[in-house]
Amino acid sequence: MPAERLQEQLKTLPNRPGVYMFRADGGEILYIGKATSLRSRVRSYFGAAGDRSFKLRELSRRTASVETFVVASPAEALLLESNLIKEHAPRFNIQLRDDKSFPYVKVTVHEPFPRVLVTRRLVRDGSRYFGPFTDVGAMRRALRMIRQMYSVRSCHYDLPGEAPDRPCLDYFIDRCRAPCVARQSQADYREMIDQILEILSGQTGRLKRDVRRQMDEAAEGLEFERAAGLRDILRGLGAMEKRQTSIDFRGGDRDVLGISRSGEAVCALFLRVREGKLLGRYVHFLQVGEGTDDLSALTSAAIKGAYLRQEELPPELLVPADFEDRALIASMLAERREGAFAIRVPQRGTKRRLLELAEGNAAHILAERTELESGRTGELTVPPGARELAAALGLESPPRDIACFDISTLGGRDSVGSSVWLRDGVPRKKEYRRFRIRETNDGQTDDFSMMQEVVGRYFVRRVTKGETIPDLVVIDGGKGQLGAARHAMESAGVSDIPVVALAKRLEEVFVPGSSEPLVLDRRNQGLRWLQHARDEAHRFAVDYNRKLRRRRTLRSGLSEVPGVGPTREKDLLREFGSLAEIRKASLEELTRVPGVGPATARRILAALSGKTGTDG
């Protein structure tokens, strides 16, 4: 029987919807639940123990007090319950085990000239979100295909009120049609965005028919350039469709939940099926509370923990078992999508086979994860530096892969950039990259534009090639360099990666959205990781800068000599090793180099005779 204090609380419970929390004697939260009537629901836990499960018996035995939150409706109680479980992770609840946020594709449809971005944050700002995507490579390939097919703007102007005086480089390389300077109308741009929304929704059938019709009309009207552009779009749609697996020849849009369990580990997998084609999946792992073995409870927890956050919803969700809140959740999701929404438990036919496919995939992923954890536990241990860095910067997950960028220049010449990569604080030399600066502001040295160029080139290349993206980006510099890097990353479609700047003088850490820098404890292992990355990037950039300066110095002495081209210059340097040694050589020694005759040798010695020093 409950303690005296708990007995008194049970007598005063309101007969209203809300959320309840059971606490142990020491204050630990044991369980969080929601109820249409708090009085009836909470009292039911402390009745006769005869036919109750082990979980309920243990819960009632350990509970010392109950805390309640009264809300206006059962729907509000459902959302509050989900948030509280996520925050407190009670031992008797089922909860998401790895609540990392997967990326979404965001289309800013509320803007007059929308943009297509990648983000990990869902903000109710009027945009449309597609995802989440656990196969990030597939998501980026799809975006790359869309950008090849359509000229979506990558700038961040608040069009049409805020606009530049002239188009940017994207216009001149046919990546944008310059709506910023009215070279593309808003109606034409919006039509393009509508087509992109259809593609992201997985509905390419009608779009292909419309594009083919427009292509034929353009060809008949002798508009061959327009017809060629429409042909390229049609080919792109066909290529995207080939990457989709057809699993239901009758078509239809739905999501499918498959659940697999092994011991205390549970995998919940959602399949996204659009027009009968499998477009993707997203996976969540659940931590099973004590005494929980009910498939209905697992189904409910998976939907509350993951699916309630979905933005792009089909009209149907297939699940493996019925559960208590099915009607309430279906009603909430129908209201969100502004149309019918059904949650069904299929028993036979095509929908049942879809459910079995999802369950089979969940079982495979769970087995793979279990084997990985049992066989490679050392690799899965998160180092203290990553944990401390995540805590200090407020990151969603510990950053184990860090990329750092630096710029090196001397007197406006030989400006170079570098990027280095640290995995768990250890340099990975094969991921180091160096860059010769191609352009600055009208030939003037500008740290911000150089940083923007280097970061942009780096991420465009990695995204295009489908290479691994780091968990954290570090910029050597302050707020200006940080802003330039963020702009470059957003333009490359990697705005979801956290980025910070580390200033040398006081080792201050600048983070986006904050005017004041962070000053981390000097003993913080995460700060040491940042310093190590910064120092490596600086060393790598300076080494490259020196190499270019040395090469320019050598060439300044030889390339001016008539008859000495790049090939003979290389031969001379290979033979003698440095400009100083060439200066010491005799006429006879110089003529031994292939292609260098007596006349050329005399010109070399004459040109170098006035140069002093020990170059090389």
The CATH number covering residue 467 comes to 3.30.420.340
Clarify whether residues 399 and 508 are in a common domain.
yes
Residue 340 lies in a domain: yes
Closest by CA position to 32, among listed 98, 80, 100 = 80
Phi then psi dihedrals of residue 24, to 5 deg: -80, 180
Could you tell me which residues are beta bridge partners of residue 330? Answer: none
Q: Please tell me the predicted confidence (pLDDT) of residue 613.
A: 39
Q: Please tell me the predicted confidence (pLDDT) of residue 371.
A: 60
Q: Please tell me the predicted confidence (pLDDT) of residue 380.
A: 43
> CA 459 → CA 391, 497, 553, 576, distances in Å?
26, 11, 32, 41
Clarify whether residues 346 and 394 are in a common domain.
no
How far apart are the C-alpha atoms of 139 and 148, rounded to whole Å?
14
Q: Which of 227, 246, 265 is the last residue in one of the domains?
A: 246
Clarify whether residues 161 and 49 are in a common domain.
no
DSSP annotation of 512 reads: T
Clarify whether residues 275 and 234 are in a common domain.
no
Q: Please tell me the predicted confidence (pLDDT) of residue 233.
A: 73
- Assign residue 131 a region (left: φ > 0; alpha: ψ between -120 and 50; beta: otherwise): left
Clarify whether residues 259 and 365 are in a common domain.
yes
Residue 229 lies in a domain: yes
Residue pair 497/472 in contact (Cβ under 8 Å)? The answer is: yes
Total structural domains within the chain: 5
Residue pair 312/201 in contact (Cβ under 8 Å)? The answer is: yes
Clarify whether residues 185 and 77 are in a common domain.
no
Clarify whether residues 542 and 410 are in a common domain.
yes
How far apart are the C-alpha atoms of 353 and 47, rounded to whole Å?
42
Range of the domain at 571: 559-608
Residue 99 lies in a domain: no
Closest by CA position to 257, among listed 282, 275, 234, 290 = 282
Between the two ends of the chain, the Cα-to-Cα distance in Å is 89
Could you tell me which residues are beta bridge partners of residue 257? Answer: 270
Residues of the chain with pLDDT under 50: 1, 99, 243, 245-246, 249, 376-380, 441-442, 611-616
How far apart are the C-alpha atoms of 308 and 303, rounded to whole Å?
6
The tokens for 536 are 């490596």
Clarify whether residues 182 and 43 are in a common domain.
no
Could you tell me which residues are beta bridge partners of residue 271? Answer: 256, 281
Rg (the chain; Cα; Å): 32
| Dihedral angle of Cα 204, 206, 211, 214, to the nearest 10 degrees | -170
DSSP annotation of 431 reads: G
Q: Which of 375, 394, 411 is the last residue in one of the domains?
A: 375
Phi then psi dihedrals of residue 82, to 5 deg: -60, -45
Closest by CA position to 299, among listed 348, 340, 266, 346 = 266
Clarify whether residues 146 and 76 are in a common domain.
no
Residues 6+ apart with CB under 8 A from 105: 116, 117, 118, 129, 130, 131, 133, 139, 143, 200
How far apart are the C-alpha atoms of 357 and 364, rounded to whole Å?
11
Residue 160 lies in a domain: yes
The CATH number covering residue 359 comes to 3.30.420.10
Question: At which residue do the structure tokens 């006879």 appear?
Answer: 588
pLDDT digits 0-9 by tens, 291-307: 566 888 889 988 988 88
How far apart are the C-alpha atoms of 420 and 402, rounded to whole Å?
8
Clarify whether residues 75 and 142 are in a common domain.
no
Residue 232 lies in a domain: yes
Q: Please tell me the predicted confidence (pLDDT) of residue 1.
A: 42
Q: Is 476 helix (H, G, I), strand (E, B) or coil?
A: strand
Closest by CA position to 404, among listed 325, 474, 487 = 474
Q: Please tell me the predicted confidence (pLDDT) of residue 170.
A: 83
Q: Which of 190, 213, 246 is the last residue in one of the domains?
A: 246
DSSP assignment string, 267-311: EEEEEEEETTEEEEEEEEEEEPPTT---HHHHHHHHHHHTGGG-S
Residue 534 lies in a domain: yes
DSSP assignment string, 158-193: -TTTS--SS--HHHHTTS---GGGTSS-HHHHHHHH
Angle between helices 136-149 and 186-200 (to 10 degrees): 150
The tokens for 552 are 């320019």
Q: Is the pTM of this model over 0.85?
A: no
How far apart are the C-alpha atoms of 359 and 443, rounded to whole Å?
60
Clarify whether residues 83 and 175 are in a common domain.
no
Q: Please tell me the predicted confidence (pLDDT) of residue 612.
A: 41
Residues 6+ apart with CB under 8 A from 54: 291
Phi then psi dihedrals of residue 22, to 5 deg: -90, 130
Clarify whether residues 394 and 510 are in a common domain.
yes
Residue 615 lies in a domain: no
> CA 608 → CA 237, 476, 596, 602, distances in Å?
63, 40, 15, 10
Q: Please tell me the predicted confidence (pLDDT) of residue 16.
A: 83
The CATH number covering residue 591 comes to 1.10.150.20
How far apart are the C-alpha atoms of 231 and 225, rounded to whole Å?
10
Residue 98 lies in a domain: no
DSSP annotation of 441 reads: B
| Burial class of residue 153 (count of CB atoms within 10 Å of its CB; 0-12, 13-18, 19+) | buried
